[in-house]
Amino acid sequence: MTMVQDRPPGQIIETDVVIIGAGPVALFAVFELGLLDIRAHLIDILDKPGGQCAELYPEKPIYDIPGLPVVTGQELTDRLMEQIKPFDPTFHLNERVDEISKHDDGRFLLKTDVGTCFLTKVVVIGAGGGSFTPKRPPIDGIEAYEGTSVHYSVRRMEVFRDKNILIVGGGDSALDWTLSLQPLSKSLTLLHRRDDFRAAPHSVEKMREMVAAGDMRLMIGQLSCLHGNDGLLESVTVKTKEGEERLPVDTLLPFFGLTMKLGPIADWGLNLEENLIPVDTEKFETSEPRIFAVGDINVYPGKLKLILSGFHEAALMAQKAHKYIYPDKKLLFQYTTSSSSLQKKLGVR
């Protein structure tokens, strides 16, 4: 497996297929395409492969994967990663595909949010419920402060120097950023709804030491209101057991986990039905030829959002993708149990 970290900007990656998403169905698509000699690039917004399985329920058992009576989300991801190893897919993680346009020669030009460009013959959308995005606290008017005073992630720490920061949450993101940003902040308050933290115990301990030393403040309560002007935050109202408190802060970092949003897919000119992509059930192709959709993101009569259905969809998609990528090659249907050429691709000795 190849993990791409940094690449000089402006370079275009030319490939046969780009898979958008890296959940279980996208991973299995690598396998089915690989058997047909098609190598894939995968792009995913998360920092790891596995999609919802790895992000939402890594520890939770799944009982309806054929042949695996019980498997956790992470185990399934790990097994799929092992299964597709012979096909050496390239992963582009922490990236979101923002644009798809048609190139003059019929191929598609894809552009990600960090500027990576792909020129590909076939696109496979395996994006599940859409891209994971940070949850926005449902507080009136919060949008006005986003990007100026309200941030859902930290890209550059310098931005937070000499700020009066309020971090909200009790998980690892909240605690990690509390520890990292406190030294350069003017003041830092961590707000959580209870005096119990999901975050790693050693970071909680460190945070408590900083509180004891008077370097920061820990508040138990919940955010209820933002106050400020022109996108600049001046203070927030926090509800605590004792009542309400107005806290003067100019920077707010809420960490309430991730949610799935369809995101830019809605702007790609594909037919959509209630945020899902309609496909046929022979090839799982969208309204745009050469763009396929597999897994939870597609819809057709009788669709079931099951991982096993997505696996089937990926297999049929690969057959048609082969026709686009190798128009002159005849495809012979083969079994991995008996075909020596398939076994060779899989590295069987």
Partner 1 sequence: MAKITFIQPDGSKQVVEATVGQTVMEAAKLENVPGIEAECGGACACATCHVYIAEGWREKTGAPSEMEEDMLDFAFDVRTESRLCCQIKVTEELDGLIVQVPAKQF
Task: Note the residues at the interface with partner 1 (CB under 8 A).
Answer: 52, 56-57, 60, 129, 135-138, 169-171, 192-194, 196, 198, 222, 224, 256-257, 259-260
Coil, helix or strand for 188? strand
- Tell me how far, at minimum, the Cβ of 224 lies from partner 1, in Å: 8
When the beta carbons of 75 and 98 are compared against partner 1, the nearer one is 75
Report the residue number, 224 or 336, with the smaller CB distance to partner 1. 224
Q: Which is nearer to partner 1, 56 or 346 (CB)?
A: 56
Cβ proximity to partner 1: between 34 and 50 the closer is 50
What does the angle CA 202 – CA 199 – CA 27 come to, to the nearest 5 degrees? Answer: 120
Q: Which helix (H) or strand (E) holds 291?
A: strand 291-293
Report which residue type is found at 231.
G
Main-chain dihedrals φ then ψ at residue 211, nearest 5 degrees:
-65, -45
Report in angstroms the alpha-carbon separations of 243 from 218, 226, 250, 271: 16, 16, 22, 50
- CB 139 to partner 1: min, Å: 8
Our CB check for partner 1 shows the closer of 54 and 123 to be 54
Cβ proximity to partner 1: between 33 and 174 the closer is 174
Give the burial class of 85: count Cβ atoms within 10 A of its Cβ; 0-12 exposed, 13-18 middle, 19 or more buried.
middle
Nearer of residues 36 and 236 to partner 1, judged by Cβ: 236
200 C-beta neighbours (distance < 10 Å), count = 13
Give kind and range of the element (H or E) at residue 211.
Answer: helix 201-212
Structure tokens belonging to residue 208? 């408590």
Give me the least distance between CB of 173 and partner 1, in Å please: 11
Say which residues have a Cβ less than 8 Å from residue 267's Cβ, sequence separation at least 6. Answer: 99
225 versus 315: smaller Cβ distance to partner 1: 225
For 263, the token pair is 């995101």
CB of 201 to partner 1, least distance (A): 14
Question: Which stretch of DSSP H or E encloses residue 317?
Answer: helix 307-325
**What gap in Å lies between CA 76 and CA 173, rounded to an integer?**
25
Reference 190, options 157, 166, 209, 172; nearest CA is 166
- Shortest distance, CB of residue 170 to partner 1, whole angstroms? 5
Q: How far is the CB of 55 from partner 1 (least distance, A)?
A: 9
Q: Cβ 314 to partner 1, closest distance in Å?
A: 21
Q: Which pair of structure tokens corresponds to residue 178?
A: 């509390």
Q: Which helix (H) or strand (E) holds 120?
A: strand 117-125
From the CB of 1, what's the least distance to partner 1, in Å? Answer: 26
Q: Which is nearer to partner 1, 157 or 266 (CB)?
A: 266
Tell me how far, at minimum, the Cβ of 239 lies from partner 1, in Å.
Answer: 8
Cβ atoms of 141 and 149 closer than 8 Å? no
